[in-house]
Chain A
Amino acid sequence: MAPCFTVRRSILLAGTVAGILLAAPAFAQQPPASASPPAAAPAAPLPPGSPLIGRPEGNPAAAKLAPIAPPPLPAAPDKLPAAKLKLPPGFNIEVYASGIANTRSLRVGDKGTVFVGTRLGNKVTAIVKKDGKTEIKTIAEGLYRPNGLAFHKGTLYIAELSRISKIDNVEANLDKPPKPTVIYTDLPKDEAHGWKFIAVGPDEKLYLEVGQPGNNVLHSPAHGQIRRINLDGSGAEVVARGVRHSVGFDWNPVNKQLYFSDNSRDWLSEDTPQDELNRVTKVGQHFGAPYCYQGNLLDPEFGWGHSCREFEAPIMLTGPHSAGLGMRFNTSKMFPAKYKNAIFLARHGSWNRTTKFGGDVIAIFLNKDGTVKLSEPFITGFLDNNNYIGRPVDVEFMADGSMLLSDDWNGAIYRVSYGKPRVAGR
């Protein structure tokens, strides 16, 4: 039996001196017991990055809640929940691609290539549909949390945890892509809220978000913001402050203003604060975090000495802990006129709530002045009996006007179209 020892024996036979596994590295040695100073009082604050900051002690319901890690392996095609998803009449949803672990940000290239970022994997993937066949290609790997993607004039921009790189003319080189060229590294390395969303704005600058490094923290001026840089990485400028963690933004095609989703803090209560949809009307505006959330709720710890009137209020509250992530304005010609210039927001769904909330895509309709008129559910059904059977992350429109939606729980991408279903019997 025991091949460990067989191997050791063969190694010994080969002339090696000691049993390999008996050689313990130096760190196995214990420091003397007296080396530790007496531990500090139990009430000492949690480390800044901890998601447990603010959690009530001794509450059994709260003790059950923690961030939910998705399975590492993508779901098999026959296990995907597409058939359980509900949309308004006339819309169809189908699986566009599956088997890509932890699908996050989506971008569509000029030639129709779909690029997929990931938070838990180390690759950027390209999906090419040709003659009815789907090809899935890895175009960059060995990356660290390559969550953010942007596509602009043939170039793919990739945002890892703490650097941004690009691949020029990417769609012409999908089979032998060059290594990404790093353009920007002036970023903190925090894990908490360190993964990025990026996009190129109408001003031809690359926008990126630097989240607050923890649930609820006073942080350095380099955190908690959306900033923009030139496409070569130069000229960094802060566009919005008081951003806790935005994983989705886009520009209103009518007024060209930047709209962004923001995740509010955890552990304040089951129902507050709600997450936010914000609008930047002036460069440098402050959106409240960590002093004020949802426009009217001062943080019990950091809000003292402040008033919510000091900060820009959200234009919409998007639900408690609902985790609104990817969002796009719809300029599609395929969807009915009602949805023209509406925002589609993918809500990943709550973890910090006993009864889960979100896990859907909502459509948000705006007034002429760019404020929110109303919102309604667009895709539901990812929540089943208080369990996720999928979690929406990002939405993106294709040239034909159909919408793609990524689901990082299942490692899949769905396509939403309007009109006569292409698949019989649906």
Chain B
Amino acid sequence: MPIISFTRRIVAAGILFVAATQPMLGETFAQRVAPCLACHGENGDSPHPVVPSLGGQPAPYLLIQLYLFRENQRASTYKKGDEMVEIMSEMTKGFTDDDLRTFSEFLSKQPPPPLPPLPTDPARMQAGRTLITQHRCNSCHNLDLTGRESVPHIANQREDFLIKTMREYRDNVRHGYDGMMASVLAPVTDAQIADLAYYIARFQ
């Protein structure tokens, strides 16, 4: 599929979302948050490719991400952002600081994503486990990978999203709030990222 048309379609979709998330007279919070849930999952568990699950995310992490989207800081200035980022920036454009706080509080209260029913290859699980120890992922993301404060919950996150995100951090295409993930992932290869994502998505 040509990437241009994909981009165009998703941007068009984004603009329609914007209409849905901007506060309108008499609109309830449930109506405003509905577009979030439609893509990120009704119960904190995203059914859509490369769209992250948000259930169980610490509110401070969500607040930082929403802020970075609103301020157009999520994508690197050295490289054009991806269409998902454009959609999120459009959607959060008119948000007030209080909106950002309310949305992050609400989304953080959704249940964390469940263990997905995916096949598990013991060799790859072991490889992922070793990499987690080696790179001290569980130092900040916690031993159970549920995150804390500004550090996200990654356990049972979508595998495709984990791969995308880790690659982007490593290549400094996705700017973090600080430079921590870019530094930590700098020496990690694509194959190792795949193993990390495989393990984290199936983490028990």
Task: Point out residues on A near B: beta carbons under 8 Å.
Answer: 1-8, 10-11, 14, 16, 18, 20-25, 27-28, 30-31, 33, 35-40, 42, 44, 46-52, 55, 63, 66-67, 69, 71-73, 119-122, 142-144, 189-192, 194, 213-214
- Given contact pairs A24-B160, A73-B97, A190-B183, A52 touches B139 in the complex (Cβ within 8 A): yes
Bound Cα distance A160, B159 (Å) = 34
Q: How far is the CB of A50 from chain B (nearest CB, A)?
A: 5
**Secondary structure dominating the interface of A:** loop
Among B157-192, those with CB < 8 Å from A are 159-160, 163-164, 167, 172, 175, 177-180, 182-188, 190-192
Q: How many A-B residue pairs have CB under 8 A?
A: 176
Among B18-67, those with CB < 8 Å from A are 20, 34-35, 37-39, 42, 48-51, 60, 63-64, 67
Query: Do A3 and B38 have beta carbons less than 8 Å apart?
Result: yes
Query: Do B184 and A25 have beta carbons less than 8 Å apart?
Result: no
The 7 closest A-B pairs by CB, nearest first: A191-B179, A49-B183, A4-B38, A24-B49, A28-B160, A69-B150, A39-B130
List of A residues within 8 angstroms of B37 by Cβ:
2
Query: Do A24 and B50 have beta carbons less than 8 Å apart?
Result: yes
Indicate whether B115 reaches chain A with its CB closer than 8 angstroms: no
Query: Do B135 and A3 have beta carbons less than 8 Å apart?
Result: no
Closest to A160 in B: B77
List of A residues within 8 angstroms of B175 by Cβ:
144
- Given contact pairs A39-B131, A67-B178, A72-B67, A214 touches B51 in the complex (Cβ within 8 A): no
User: Can you list 19 A-B pairs, Cβ within 8 angstroms, ordered by A?
Assistant: A1-B34, A21-B48, A22-B48, A23-B49, A24-B49, A25-B50, A28-B50, A33-B123, A36-B124, A47-B187, A49-B182, A69-B177, A72-B68, A73-B67, A73-B97, A142-B77, A190-B183, A191-B178, A213-B183
- Given contact pairs A35-B194, A52-B139, A71-B63, A192 touches B179 in the complex (Cβ within 8 A): yes
Bound Cα distance A1, B172 (Å) = 37
Q: How far is the CB of B102 from chain A (nearest CB, A)?
A: 12
- Given contact pairs A121-B71, A121-B73, A31 touches B190 in the complex (Cβ within 8 A): yes
List of A residues within 8 angstroms of B180 by Cβ:
51, 67, 191
**Range of interface residues on chain B?**
35 or more
Closest to B130 in A: A39
List of B residues within 8 angstroms of A23 by Cβ:
1, 6, 49
B147-159 vs A, CB cutoff 8 Å, 1 = contact: the mask equals: 0011100000001
- Given contact pairs A73-B97, A142-B77, A190-B183, A21 touches B195 in the complex (Cβ within 8 A): no
Query: Do A55 and B139 have beta carbons less than 8 Å apart?
Result: yes
Q: How far is the CB of A412 from chain B (nearest CB, A)?
A: 14
Q: How far is the CB of B116 from chain A (nearest CB, A)?
A: 14
Besides A20-B13, A27-B163, 18 other CB < 8 A contacts?
Answer: A1-B38, A3-B35, A4-B35, A11-B12, A25-B49, A31-B194, A33-B121, A35-B191, A37-B191, A39-B126, A47-B135, A47-B184, A51-B180, A52-B139, A55-B136, A142-B77, A144-B175, A190-B179
List of A residues within 8 angstroms of B13 by Cβ:
7-8, 11, 20
Bound Cα distance A39, B132 (Å) = 10
List of B residues within 8 angstroms of A38 by Cβ:
127
Q: How far is the CB of A223 from chain B (nearest CB, A)?
A: 13
Q: How far is the CB of B129 from chain A (nearest CB, A)?
A: 9
Bound Cα distance A100, B107 (Å) = 26
Q: How far is the CB of B173 from chain A (nearest CB, A)?
A: 11
Bound Cα distance A55, B135 (Å) = 12
List of B residues within 8 angstroms of A6 by Cβ:
38
Bound Cα distance A38, B191 (Å) = 11
Closest to B133 in A: A42
List of B residues within 8 angstroms of A66 by Cβ:
139-140, 151
List of A residues within 8 angstroms of B100 by Cβ:
73
Query: Do A73 and B63 have beta carbons less than 8 Å apart?
Result: yes
Query: Do A194 and B163 have beta carbons less than 8 Å apart?
Result: no
List of A residues within 8 angstroms of B72 by Cβ:
122, 142
Closest to A49 in B: B183
Bound Cα distance A122, B42 (Å) = 33
Query: Do B64 and A52 have beta carbons less than 8 Å apart?
Result: no
Q: How far is the CB of B99 from chain A (nearest CB, A)?
A: 11
Bound Cα distance A49, B187 (Å) = 10
List of B residues within 8 angstroms of A119 by Cβ:
178
Query: Do A7 and B17 have beta carbons less than 8 Å apart?
Result: yes
Query: Do A47 and B186 have beta carbons less than 8 Å apart?
Result: yes
